[in-house]
Amino acid sequence: MSICLAAAHVRAHHGPVGAPAFYNTDELLILEGELTEVFWRNPHVRFELRVIDETGEEAFWELETGVPNQMESGGFTEDMFPVGRQVKAAGFVSRHRSDFLGLRNLLLPNGVEYAGGRGELIWSDRRLEPETPPERVRRTDRPATEANSIFGIWGLGLRPSEWMAEQDYDHVLSEAGRAAKDAFRPIDHPILQCVPRGMPERMLPGSMEFVDEGERIVMRHFWWGGDRIIHLDRNAPPEGTPHSHLGYSVGRWESEDVLVVDTTLVNYPYFDREGTPQTDQVAFEERFTVVLAEGEEPARLDYRLTATDPVMFAEPLVIETAFDWSARGNIETSSCEMWERSGQDN
């Protein structure tokens, strides 16, 4: 069993294990040892690796990889990773914890290599793949059913890193907003402590389900932390309503295809995953416009978000995008759990 470093000539993953703010991506660390534990929970799947160095000293490493839901949608399951067996791991060491590795590759005892869904292989020509590949629907394919209203599931098929790479709204920040964002440290993001994502961070990117409950609409997301409730029978929050991570939303139908939602009383500190700040004075207007399928064009949900904050934004922050119609099923909300490793006190 050994530890060695290599220059990172391989292409880094998109997402947390390739983010320079979290990991030293200049050097690829290679570890060999016993896979002692698998923790298949949000916010990310983690493995524990027991390593013995040349002097006989024992060390336990925590290896982090993808989000459980995304891994499962790719056909990966917990039982594919054999606890108690010898494996070889490659990844990037955390800038914040010396025993924490952003996992890029994992060579299993049978010679098959895990490298996520599309990462480059290092040691093997045999990629770990599910026995029964998941059904994948290309964005150009039509779903089995078509939308005839907003109710159902809509998705935005981008990874968080891909979504953020397309955004450019720092110019609307006030002086206070720029200072707060400059001071942001990704390691301090509340989701790493299983604090639920708030409004509007949980909206983009991802999937959401609209459920018709008469005088209110339930908006359900994969992320833990409760459903968003859009009240159609009010035009303002009741007096004394407390602030919360999702705030209080009131909605109205501008037409049968256009839903307008106003949200206030949000106390979540970030607009996005990159630490764009907001205060509890932030207010949001969302416009959801259903565009029904026509000819070869599938149904979509056009989305426009306008955010105002008298402290952090010098002018309104506007985002526009479109969600794809997905299905008439339902979204199962996830949970999050902090990991207390069995080997962390050894």
152-189: pLDDT as tens digits: 999 887 766 777 778 899 999 999 999 999 999 888 88
Q: What is the pLDDT of residue 296?
A: 75
58-117: per-residue pLDDT in tens? Answer: 999 999 998 887 788 778 899 999 999 999 999 999 888 889 999 999 999 999 999 987
DSSP bridge partners of 333: none
Asked whether this chain's domains 3-114 and 152-327 adopt the same fold, the reply is no
Q: What is the pLDDT of residue 162?
A: 76
Strand 248-255 vs strand 228-231: parallel, antiparallel, or unpaired?
Answer: parallel
pTM for the structure as a whole: 0.72
* CB-based contact 177:316 (threshold 8 Å): no
Q: Is the pLDDT of residue 238 over 90?
A: yes
**Cα 269 to Cα 22, 135, 205, 286, 312, distances in angstroms:** 20, 37, 18, 19, 11
Domain boundaries, the chain: 3-114, 152-327
More confident residue, 327 or 133: 327
* CB-based contact 247:263 (threshold 8 Å): yes
Q: To the nearest whole number, what is the mean pLDDT of the chain?
A: 86
What is the distance between the alpha carbons of residues 114 and 168, in angstroms, rounded to a whole number?
34
Which residues contact residue 324 at a Cβ distance below 8 angstroms, ignoring those fewer than 6 apart?
139, 154, 155, 156, 157, 298, 299, 300, 301
What is the distance between the alpha carbons of residues 29 and 103, in angstroms, rounded to a whole number?
10
Amino acid residing at 79: D
Region class of 111: left (phi > 0), else alpha (psi between -120 and 50), else beta: left
Q: CATH for 152-327?
A: 2.40.128
- Overall average pLDDT of the 249-268 stretch: 98
- Per CATH, which fold does 3-114 belong to? OB fold (Dihydrolipoamide Acetyltransferase, E2P) (2.40.50)
